[in-house]
Chains A and B, each alone.
Chain A
Amino acid sequence: MRLLVLLWSLGPLLWQLRTSLLRPEALVAPMAGSNPWTLANYQLVLSGDPPFWRYLTNSGLVGLATTLLTLLLAVPCAYALQHHRGAWRWGASVALVAAAMFPTVLLFLALLEIARSLGLANSLLALSLPYTALSLPLAVLLLRAGFADLPGELEDAARLEGLGLGQRLRHVLLPLLAPTLASTAILVFLASWNEYAIALTWISRNDLLTLPIAIARIGGSSVFTIPYGAFAAATVLGSLPLLLLVLLAQRAIVSGLTQGAIKG
Chain B
Amino acid sequence: MKLSGAKALLMLPALLLLVAVFLYPLLRYGWLSGHASSVLTGLRPVPNGGANWQRLIEDVRFWKDAGQTLRFAFCSVALELAGGLGVALLLHQPLRGRGTLRALTLLPWALPTTVMALGWRWILNDPHGPLNAALRSLGAPSYGFLTTPATTWFFAVLADVWKTMPFVALLLLAGLQSIPADLEETLRLEGASRIQILRRLTLPLLVPYLSLALLFRLAQALGVFDLIQVLTGGGPGGSTESLSLYAYLNAMRFLDFGYAATVMLATFLLLAVLLGVGWLLLRRARIARTTGGPA
Interface residues of A (CB under 8 A from B): 1-2, 5-6, 8-10, 12-13, 15-16, 19, 27-28, 73-74, 76-77, 79-81, 83-84, 99-111, 113-114, 129-130, 132-134, 136-137, 140, 165, 190, 193-194, 196-197, 201, 211-213, 215-216, 218-219, 223, 226, 228, 231-232, 235, 238-239, 242-243, 245-247, 250-251, 253-254, 257-258, 261-262, 264
**B113: CB under 8 A from chain A?**
yes
Which residues 1-50 in B have Cβ within 8 Å of A in the complex? 3-4, 6-8, 10-11, 13-15, 17-18, 20-22, 24-25, 28-29
Minimal beta-carbon separation of B225 from chain A (angstroms): 4
Q: Is the CB of A254 within 8 A of B173?
A: yes
Residues of B within 8 A of A79 (CB): 10
Residues of A within 8 A of B153 (CB): none
Contact of B18 among A2, A10, A137, A250 (CB under 8 A): A137
Minimal beta-carbon separation of B234 from chain A (angstroms): 14
Minimal beta-carbon separation of B204 from chain A (angstroms): 16
Residues of B within 8 A of A101 (CB): 215-216, 219-220, 275
**B198: CB under 8 A from chain A?**
no
* 11 A–B pairs (Cβ distance < 8 Å), ordered by A: A8-B162, A12-B119, A73-B14, A83-B3, A99-B18, A108-B251, A114-B20, A215-B112, A219-B121, A226-B118, A254-B102
Q: Is the CB of A110 within 8 A of B25?
A: yes
Closest to B221 in A: A103
Task: Give Cα distance in the complex from A264 to B212, angstroms.
Answer: 7
The total number of A-B Cβ pairs within 8 Å is 234
Minimal beta-carbon separation of B35 from chain A (angstroms): 13
Closest to A28 in B: B128
Q: Which 6 A-B pairs have the closest CB atoms?
A: A103-B223, A110-B25, A133-B21, A258-B174, A76-B10, A250-B103
Q: Is the CB of A133 within 8 A of B18?
A: yes
The digit string for B105-125, where 1 denotes a CB below 8 A from any CB of A, is 111101111111111111101
Residues of B within 8 A of A257 (CB): 167, 170-171, 174
Q: Is the CB of B14 within 8 A of A140?
A: yes
Minimal beta-carbon separation of A192 from chain B (angstroms): 11
Residues of B within 8 A of A129 (CB): 17, 21
Which residues 125-154 in B have Cβ within 8 Å of A in the complex? 125, 128, 130, 146
Closest to A214 in B: B114
Q: Is the CB of B244 within 8 A of A106?
A: yes
Known contacts A8-B162, A110-B28, A113-B28; A235/B118 CB under 8 A: yes
Known contacts A109-B251, A196-B112; A13/B25 CB under 8 A: no
Q: Is the CB of A254 within 8 A of B174?
A: yes
Residues of B within 8 A of A73 (CB): 13-14, 17
Task: Give Cα distance in the complex from A257 to B177, angstroms.
Answer: 13
Closest to A84 in B: B7
Kindly specify which of B56-64, B189-197, B264-272, B285-293 makes contact with the partner chain. B264-272
Kindly specify which of B74-82, B93-101, B179-187 makes contact with the partner chain. B93-101
Q: Is the CB of B170 within 8 A of A254?
A: yes
Minimal beta-carbon separation of B111 from chain A (angstroms): 6
Known contacts A12-B123, A105-B223, A218-B118; A133/B17 CB under 8 A: yes
Given contacts A5-B90, A103-B225, 10 further A-B contacts (CB under 8 A): A27-B128, A80-B11, A103-B220, A105-B226, A105-B248, A109-B264, A133-B20, A136-B18, A226-B118, A247-B103
Q: Is the CB of A212 within 8 A of B223?
A: no
Q: Is the CB of B175 within 8 A of A5?
A: no
Q: Is the CB of B271 within 8 A of A103?
A: yes
Q: Is the CB of A106 within 8 A of B114?
A: no
**B87: CB under 8 A from chain A?**
yes
Closest to A239 in B: B111
Closest to B275 in A: A101
**B281: CB under 8 A from chain A?**
no
Contact of B104 among A6, A114, A258 (CB under 8 A): A6
Q: Is the CB of A250 within 8 A of B106?
A: yes
Task: Give Cα distance in the complex from A251 to B238, angstroms.
Answer: 42
Task: Give Cα distance in the complex from A264 to B29, angstroms.
Answer: 29
Task: Give Cα distance in the complex from A232 to B261, angstroms.
Answer: 36
Minimal beta-carbon separation of B169 from chain A (angstroms): 9
Known contacts A106-B268, A109-B260, A246-B107; A76/B11 CB under 8 A: yes
Minimal beta-carbon separation of A126 from chain B (angstroms): 13
Residues of B within 8 A of A140 (CB): 14
Closest to A264 in B: B212
Q: Is the CB of A194 within 8 A of B122?
A: no
Closest to B100 in A: A247
Minimal beta-carbon separation of B245 from chain A (angstroms): 9
Known contacts A15-B130, A101-B216; A106/B247 CB under 8 A: yes
Closest to A201 in B: B252
Contact of B115 among A77, A107, A235 (CB under 8 A): A235
Residues of A within 8 A of B170 (CB): 253-254, 257-258
Task: Give Cα distance in the complex from A77 to B15, angstroms.
Answer: 8
Minimal beta-carbon separation of B113 from chain A (angstroms): 7
Q: Is the CB of A261 within 8 A of B225?
A: no
Closest to B146 in A: A223
Residues of B within 8 A of A246 (CB): 103, 106-107, 110
